Amino acid sequence: MKKTRHQNTINQIAKPSAKNKRDVWYKLDLSAIVYPTLQRRDFSSVYRLSVVLKETVDPALLQQALDMTLSRFPTYKVAIRKGLFWRYLEPNNRPGPYVKKDIKNPCMPMHFKGNNRYLIRIYYYGCRIALEAHHCLGDGTGGMCLLQTLTATYLGLLGHPVKPDGFVLDINQEPDPEELEDAYMRYANAQVCPPRPAEKTYRVRGTKEPFYTLNIIDGILSVHEVMTVAKKYNASITEYLNAVLLYALLQKQTNDFHIRLRPVRIAMPVNLRRFFPSKTLRNFITMVYPFIDPRLGEYTFEEIVAHVHNHMRYYINDKFLRGDITTNASTQRNPFIRVVPLFIKDFVVRTFYTKVQDKNSSAGLTNMGALRVPEDMKPYIERFDIYMGQPFSSRTNCAIISFEDVLTINFASSIIEADVERYFFRKLVQDGIHVKIESNRDSNDD
């Protein structure tokens, strides 16, 4: 009976009649509620996904492909609005968004009233097509569906038809109601709400770049080489690369001036679709926090890998993740909080995030894993990239993605110093992994 009511609710929201189509709107999902609250002049929760093709991109055809594709993704063809108690998304039928030539500093702040109120941007440069999206629309999985479907439509216009499969959706098909749901609320049914990590962690200090400068450092590696090294440590690629980042942060803390040591912790998103069946194209992730506490003693790299391996095996399972979802949902379900005016909610959430949540991690790391594309697309694609965008505070964020045998590790930072990135890639080279470095920094920068 519960499932029937849930499905009916989705259908009422997602599939309005033609008569009422203008009145459809979407509540922000459980994760999306936070992102607009943290918006400020020099920060916007924008991430970037890009695909590098083997031929130069035709911007006119790309614009045509975008116009054909976007209506298939109704939760991305929206504008954000502010109500008395909550923000919400409403359909955006204004002209655009328009394809633009790429810029040096990606993931610029996204103002809600700019760009004809669209919360996505599409860029091109050489062989690259890039999608930037505000996190209130969805996570990397939803964004990758849009990017791959757009790319498939573009290739079709070039005379290379691609059959829909996986991340490539049929643009002539009506959206599945489940694609539009807030999947968190379906699975927030644990009988306990686990606590959050609360202790302050080591924070990377550095010289702030001028507004708005985002330093990008990309490492391009072989999946086979990384997998071979990870196996030597009895770890997966994700566990190994998390350990390398923790190692780099520990090196940075040790070599910096410090009065006392602090724990080093990474904020790592987990794709909940792996554990809880859902087709949603909106946010459906939660965070886990691999960490090392150097106050307990000096760790060898082997010990760091083992610690990360055990931490992930312990926490990344449907039981703990369901509890985490329930903890997140508890505040939204609270009847008192529901009727608190939005400006008060914003103040409380912003204060909590600034004073507590943002200080719970030393860096961010996300791994989208090995991407698959339809067989028709493979001959035209070189690689994919992902960027977490502007960090909320002075630190570096790391994002990982792989396609075929190409693994890219993309760092994004708003400080001049690149010590963490240097320690990170140096460790990979010491382990026998070949790394090609690309950057948007000037050649005379550090």
Q: Which residues of 375-391 are buried (b: 16+ CB within 10 A; e: fewer)?
A: ebbeebbebbbbbbbbb
Give the span between the Cα atoms of 423 and 445, in whole angstroms.
Answer: 17
Instruction: Give Cα 151 to chain centroid, integer Å.
Output: 19
Locate tokens 């909320």: which residue? 392
* pLDDT of the residue at 391: 79
Three-state secondary structure call for residue 97: coil
Domain 215-369+391-439 has CATH 3.40.50.880: no
Three-state secondary structure call for residue 406: strand
Looking at domain 27-174+182-187, which CATH architecture does it have? 2-Layer Sandwich (3.30)
- Within this chain, domains 27-174+182-187 and 215-369+391-439 share the same CATH topology: yes
Instruction: Give Cα 14 to chain centroid, integer Å.
Output: 24
Containing 246, the helix (H) or strand (E) segment is helix 237-255
* pLDDT of the residue at 1: 37
Locate tokens 């379900």: which residue? 333
**What would the pLDDT profile of 10-39 be if each residue is shown by its tens digit?**
333 344 433 344 568 999 998 999 899 888
Give the span between the Cα atoms of 121 and 98, in whole angstroms.
Answer: 8
Taking CA 118 as the corner, what is the angle to CA 112 and CA 120, rounded to the nearest 5 degrees?
A: 105
Give the span between the Cα atoms of 434 and 245, in whole angstroms.
Answer: 17
Give the span between the Cα atoms of 57 and 358, in whole angstroms.
Answer: 39
* pLDDT of the residue at 350: 83
Write down the domain spans for the chain: 27-174+182-187, 215-369+391-439
Q: What are phi and psi of 271, to 5 degrees?
A: -75, 110
33's tokens: 């509620």
* pLDDT of the residue at 22: 52
How many other CB atoms sit within 10 Å of the CB of residue 181? 25
Nearest to 395 by CA among 253, 238, 220: 253
* pLDDT of the residue at 150: 98
Q: Which residues of the chain have pLDDT under 50?
A: 1-21, 444-446
* pLDDT of the residue at 437: 95
* pLDDT of the residue at 11: 37
Give the span between the Cα atoms of 206 and 20, in whole angstroms.
Answer: 53
* pLDDT of the residue at 247: 98
Task: List all residues 6 or more positions away from 413 whose beta carbon is below 8 Å from its beta carbon.
Answer: 206, 214, 215, 217, 391, 395, 396, 397, 421
Instruction: Give Cα 421 to chain centroid, integer Å.
Output: 19
How many other CB atoms sit within 10 Å of the CB of residue 113? 8
* pLDDT of the residue at 226: 98
353's tokens: 């995030």
114 class by beta-carbon count within 10 Å (0-12 exposed, 13-18 middle, 19+ buried): exposed
pTM for this structure?
0.91
Give the span between the Cα atoms of 387 and 366, in whole angstroms.
Answer: 9
Alpha helices (runs of H) in 334-360, residue ranges in sequence order: 335-338, 342-355
Task: List all residues 6 or more positions away from 145 whose beta carbon is below 8 Å from its beta carbon.
Answer: 73, 167, 168, 169, 281
User: Are the beta carbons of 223 and 371 closer than 8 angstroms?
Assistant: no
